[in-house]
Chain A
Amino acid sequence: MPEIDYRNSEKTVYELSAVGRGTNLMPECDVPKTALPGALLRKDTETIGLPGLSELDVVRHFIHLAQRNFSVDGGFYPLGSCTMKYNPKISEACARSEGFAQSHPLQPDETVQGNLKLMHDLQEWLKEIGGFAAVSLQPTAGAQGELTALLMMRAFFRNCGETGRTQILIPDSAHGTNPASTTMAGFETLEIPSDEHGNLDLAALNAACDDTVAGLMLTNPNTLGLFERDIETIVRCVHDCGGLVYGDGANMNALAGVVRPGDLGIDVMHYNLHKTFGTPHGGGGPGSGPLGAGEKLAAYLPGPLVRRIDNVEKPDPGYMLFIPEKTIGRMNSHFGSFGVFVRAYAYILQHGAEGLKQNALHAVLNANYLREKLRGVYPLSHDRTCMHEFVLQGKIEGSSVRAVDISKRLLDYGFHPPTIYFPLIVPEALMIEPTETESKQTLDAFAEAMKAIAQEAVDRPETLHTAPHTTPVGRLDEVRAARQLKLREDDRKVKDNLNKA
């Protein structure tokens, strides 16, 4: 095993640690002490194994780490299917209000009327935007929304006595979480091919629809960035065989204010507040995946939900929690990602109906503009007007470079790469989602970089094969990471540092 070279590598908290160093920020104990139950304690000889750092060590370390991270605040981040739009700073200020940040989830309803109002309004607005009968804010991410909806479908069919419905139809362009959620919910997946226009193959759908089908999971616009033109036929086809249609709302940024999925016949759909409604992705979460349901499934939503208290005597009777009648039960500890609700609430309230629509129009404009700029430079997956994103192929005639090489080279040009190799049905896919908050200058600069890279692919492909060249580390050996697993700092290193005293 070759020695690791530590040049330019940021030390870990353990490498920075010194025994006995630390910040004493806790108060002295102001009550008489009680004898500790000796038998339950960590042994005297046993250290926990946490580092000893001064506060400055901590701050400097994490700032160094921050400097080694690409972000929307730092640059263009056209990661397809992720909607990396600007996250308004005003939302942060609002979410940190003590009334929100310091309220306890088990406080009685009458002490958290502000929170309940906020959740209630957000529920109502999401209902309006999506065209649904009810919304539960509880799912903590898109994937949890999927699982929740599938469990609701299961409960629905059990109640109808239709236990023979075991299959969920999923297009071959779907996101990996769709089949994963399907299995988790105890269903089987039947994958439906796409047609040459990038839409769901209707003939195949027809062949698939029978009385074993529980439902279809459909992303619309799909992961090619294309609107399912036959959406109404698709929905009818599934409904006619007795199935339900799930909408994966990851791509709702193209549709908010443009069309309501509920109006298209979608029975249940998750929203990603961390995509469409501008809440930050946090380097991997937290997210929020509220679920909208039509009449058929509304009663199955996970509770509690919020409603206005009926009381004609009081002018402002307030809000209360309630559990939907046939609920599948709760999906997590409390109400979901409340902190994210505050930001999404602020986002919707800043935009209003017209603002949301303008966002969608501009998101779609930016995608089509960029697509036009890159036409002829890289092959397009499908030559059609796209929605908020589009897919190119990372292939250049006469060159051995691949999508992964192009994406790594983009880092040298100061851009975050698009999503690559997704959807799987497009070879060497580069999935580009510029979002509405990027300026024309940025889009033009990105297009120029993509063109320059296409030229390099022919002139000096090796530069691309070995890219990136300007990041703190070069292309990393993922095979080694998986073969020689090191998922934590060595015990030995931790102990050495702690016992050095």
Chain B
Amino acid sequence: MDRVCERMREKKCVGILINPIAGMGGRVGLKGTDGMENQARALGARPAAHLRATETLCRFIQLMSQATDFPLRWLTCSGEMGEAVLKTAGIPMNVIEIVHTVTGKSSAEDTRRAVRGFMAQKVDLIVFCGGDGTARDICSVAGISVPILGIPSGVKMFSGVFATNPVRCAETMLAFLQNRLTTVQTEVLDLDEASYRAGEWKVKLYHAALTPFEPRYMQSSKALIENVDDTAIRAGIADYLLEQFQRETPALVFLGAGSTVKSVGDRWGIDKTLLGVDAVVDGECIGGDLNEQQILALLGRFKARKLVLSPIGAQGFVLGRGNSQLSPAVIRDIGCSNIIVIATPAKLAKTPVLRFDTGDAMLDRELAGDGYIRVVTGYRRRTLVKTML
């Protein structure tokens, strides 16, 4: 057997993680289930995560049976955090390995322990069933070293790691494990549950994450080119912005949150924070992770200013998710015409419509333009993208 084929048939390893109570809160009108499980049960909610997970895995097994000679290793937790569902789906015990045994009620700490177990075994992909909270727990350990894929079943799913439904999830799993997909960087967001229950709606950006992605085809002539990663395109965007700023020389540039804007900062040689809004003056970062007051203070000092933003998470929000420090007051002060929205074509493919939700409807309308905005998608390249309120 020659080695090319061997390489293609190398045993892949998947980690499966189920948050058994995910989604219960939503059905009874709670924004999330963390710490609210008993209340949810009392309101009549029943666990449903295992059903969605089973559906996904059954579909996956069915698809896999068509592919010849495709060995797979499964890692999971004991009991309802994984093992039970794998069994229901008919996966033989001899290919399953329990990396973490849950004692008592499952908790966020169990999730983190399991992920550590997965990483020790060098998993190729972590598939989880849950919502933003579960994604957050996983990423707090996995970071961007392992791609993660969510079976949608949480109450909140602002993060960019979820498949649209269990069937698509199974297809994506298979395609990724057969090396037919690449990965893309996205964000993990979550509602700040404590402040929400206190009556305040605040979606925070917590982590960058890696998730499987349909390769973006670049097409030049009739040649088909799989764009393996976004790095070159991000560099092109960064170079183009720099070129423009050299021409227009804004004194003050704010770089918004998220992985796309961060890579612009990286390209410029600035130590940009991933989660915050940073200020750049004369090519130097003069403030990282600024709050609303700090931003307003800076705006008082510099006249020529720009704000670079990129949509964050799954729903294409440019403002209003994960960047509440950019309040209506801040945006008005900066001026809508000084906002530059950037995104790679891969990201736009996931969020074809962009939204603004600053909490100020008039301002949102102004930001959304006449139904389209120009988004910088590459070097000397913009794309007209639909907006929605």
Contacts and interface: CB of A to CB of B under 8 A. Distances in A.
Contacts of A203: 371-372
Interface stretch (A145-153, A171-179, A256-264, A296-304): A171-179
Contact of B222 (A81, A167, A400): A81
Interface stretch (B252-260, B273-281, B380-388): B380-388
B217 A207 contact: no
A190 B383 contact: yes
Query: Which one of B222, B369, B381 has the highest number of Cβ atoms from chain A below 10 Å of its Cβ?
Result: B222
B374 interface: yes
Contact of B381 (A81, A189, A420, A462): A189
B66 A180 contact: no
A188 interface: yes
A191 interface: yes
Interface residues of B, number: 33
3 A-B pairs closest in CB distance: A176-B220, A191-B383, A2-B3
Contacts of B171: 400
A423 B214 CA distance: 16
A355 interface: no
20 contacts: A81-B222, A175-B219, A176-B221, A182-B380, A183-B380, A189-B382, A190-B374, A190-B383, A191-B382, A193-B383, A193-B384, A204-B386, A207-B384, A208-B384, A400-B171, A400-B175, A404-B224, A421-B217, A421-B219, A462-B66
B69 to A, nearest CB: 9
Contact of B67 (A188, A192, A400, A404): A400
A189 B376 CA distance: 10
A1 B217 CA distance: 28
Interface string B20-35: 0000000000000000
Contacts of B377: 191
A427 B168 CA distance: 15
Contacts of A143: 221
B218 A176 contact: yes
B174 interface: yes
A190 B373 CA distance: 11
B71 to A, nearest CB: 15
Given A172-B383, A183-B379, A207 B372 contact: yes
B386 A193 contact: yes
Do most interface residues of chain B lie in helix, strand or loop, or is the interface mixed? mixed
B79 to A, nearest CB: 32
B63 interface: yes
Interface in B42-96: 63, 66-68
A226 to B, nearest CB: 18
Contacts of B383: 172, 190-191, 193
A2 B4 contact: yes
B5 to A, nearest CB: 10
Interface string A420-464: 111110010000000000000000000000000000000001100
A233 B250 CA distance: 38
B56 to A, nearest CB: 15
Nearest to B244: A188
B369 A79 contact: no
B2 to A, nearest CB: 6
A465 interface: yes
Contacts of A144: none
Given A81-B222, A176-B218, A177-B220, A189 B380 contact: yes
A461 B217 contact: no
A427 B349 CA distance: 11
Contacts of A477: 4
Nearest to A81: B222
Given A207-B370, A424-B217, A477-B4, A462 B67 contact: yes
A82 interface: yes
Contact of B221 (A177, A188, A207, A208): A177
A419 interface: yes
B371 A400 contact: no
A282 B4 CA distance: 33
A137 to B, nearest CB: 22
A46 interface: no
B140 to A, nearest CB: 33
Contacts of B222: 79, 81-82, 419, 422
Nearest to A404: B224
A295 interface: no
Do most interface residues of chain A lie in helix, strand or loop, or is the interface mixed? mixed
A contact residues, range? 35 or more
A422 B214 CA distance: 15
Contacts of A400: 63, 66-67, 171, 174-175
Contacts of A79: 222
A206 B66 CA distance: 49
B4 to A, nearest CB: 6
Given A189-B381, A422-B222, 20 more contacts: A2-B3, A175-B219, A176-B218, A176-B220, A176-B221, A177-B221, A179-B381, A183-B379, A187-B380, A189-B380, A190-B384, A191-B382, A207-B371, A399-B66, A400-B67, A400-B171, A421-B217, A421-B224, A461-B67, A477-B4
A5 interface: yes
Given A203-B371, A422-B224, A462-B67, A176 B219 contact: yes
A278 to B, nearest CB: 19
Contacts of A208: 372, 384
Contacts of A172: 383
Query: Which one of A207, A427, A465 has the highest number of Cβ atoms from chain B below 10 Å of its Cβ?
Result: A207
B369 A207 contact: yes
Contacts of A207: 369-372, 384
Nearest to B214: A427
A91 B224 CA distance: 32
Interface string B342-386: 000000000000000000000000000111101001011111111
Nearest to A401: B66
Contacts of B220: 176-177, 180
Contacts of A427: 214
B221 A175 contact: yes
A420 B221 CA distance: 11
Nearest to A143: B221
B224 A420 contact: yes
Contacts of A420: 224
A191 B3 CA distance: 44
Nearest to B216: A424
Given A179-B381, A400-B174, A204 B372 contact: yes
Nearest to B217: A421
Nearest to A402: B180
A21 to B, nearest CB: 34
A480 B3 CA distance: 12
Interface string B277-294: 000000000000000000
